[in-house]
Homo-oligomer: A and B are copies of this chain.
Amino acid sequence: MKLKTIEDFFLHGHQFNLPGVSVDNVIFGFHENQLKVLLLQSLDKNIWMLPGGFVGKKEHIDEAASRILKDRTGLDIIFLKQFYTFGSPLRSNNKILVKALESLNQKYDKDHWIMQRFITVGYYSLVEYANVNPQPDEFSSVCEWYDLDPLPELLLDHKEIIYKALDEMRLNLNYQPIGYNLLPKEFTMKNLQSIYETILGRKLDRGNFNRKILSYDILDKKEKHYSGGAHKAPYLYSFNKKKYFKALENGLGRDF
């Protein structure tokens, strides 16, 4: 089979005219044993949305995700995981963007790329709430942490994206260690357990959690004990950086 005319190919039963590519970040924050998610409020104050943006011409999608994360949170180089790509044609013209453009007397005709529909590559990360100073972007008035339950009215399929990210993050607890960027250099086993419990949304048995985590062999036990709290002083642990990142790469045991 040979190529006849280029139109033959492009219009072969389909309207080929490329959708654009954007990135949406689901940034979970860990605060007082609660999961929050970072959201932006549109300029007209009606709708919330995930921090996201277009992918630069010569930019790796992973870099675009990092850049957006940094712009919204000030955070650098942290664990960002691509979890799914959303490609429904209903993810069409970003009405918020179009509105914003119109309000500034910026108009683009239907063929301009900005008016096309977008494919969105989703990334998630889990960051320490206190380290973040949320910054709104050009299309939003507010950027802040929001409780996962209940979520406000969200743009397009952003609610679906958040739930999918949560599912994937939970699944991934069985394969990859977590907590390195969420805990101080030295921490107690209870601190770490709280993170797992918060993500999973359920309590875990203390003894069994201990056994499991220690079997991963990514922690160093300190001689020092924590003091300051009431009652018996727990041991302090730190992540063994080398083993942690090796496990992040190669995976761990399974199942919580």
Contact = CB atoms under 8 A, between A and B. Distances in A.
Contact of A55 (B19, B55, B138, B255): B19
Identical subunits present: 2
Contacts of A208: none
A58 B119 contact: no
A14 B56 contact: yes
A223 B14 CA distance: 49
A1 interface: yes
Contacts of A121: 85, 87, 119
B2 A57 contact: no
8 contacts: A3-B100, A15-B56, A16-B57, A18-B55, A60-B87, A82-B84, A85-B85, A119-B119
A79 interface: no
A114 to B, nearest CB: 8
Main secondary structure of the interface of A (DSSP, over half): loop
Interface of A: 1-3, 6, 8-9, 12, 14-21, 54-62, 64, 67, 82, 84-85, 87-89, 100-101, 104, 106, 113, 116-117, 119, 121, 135-139, 254-255
Given A21-B19, A89-B60, A55 B1 contact: no
Given A21-B21, A57-B16, A2 B138 contact: yes
B60 A88 contact: yes
A26 to B, nearest CB: 15
A104 B87 CA distance: 32
Contacts of A58: 15, 89, 117
A85 B88 contact: no
Given A3-B138, A19-B21, A119-B119, 7 more contacts: A1-B137, A3-B139, A21-B21, A60-B87, A87-B121, A119-B121, A254-B254
Nearest to A87: B61
A82 B122 CA distance: 13
B20 A18 contact: yes
Contacts of A20: 18, 21
B85 A1 contact: no
Contacts of A100: 3
A43 to B, nearest CB: 8
A228 to B, nearest CB: 40
A59 B88 CA distance: 7
A3, A6, A12: which has the most chain B beta carbons within 10 Å? A3
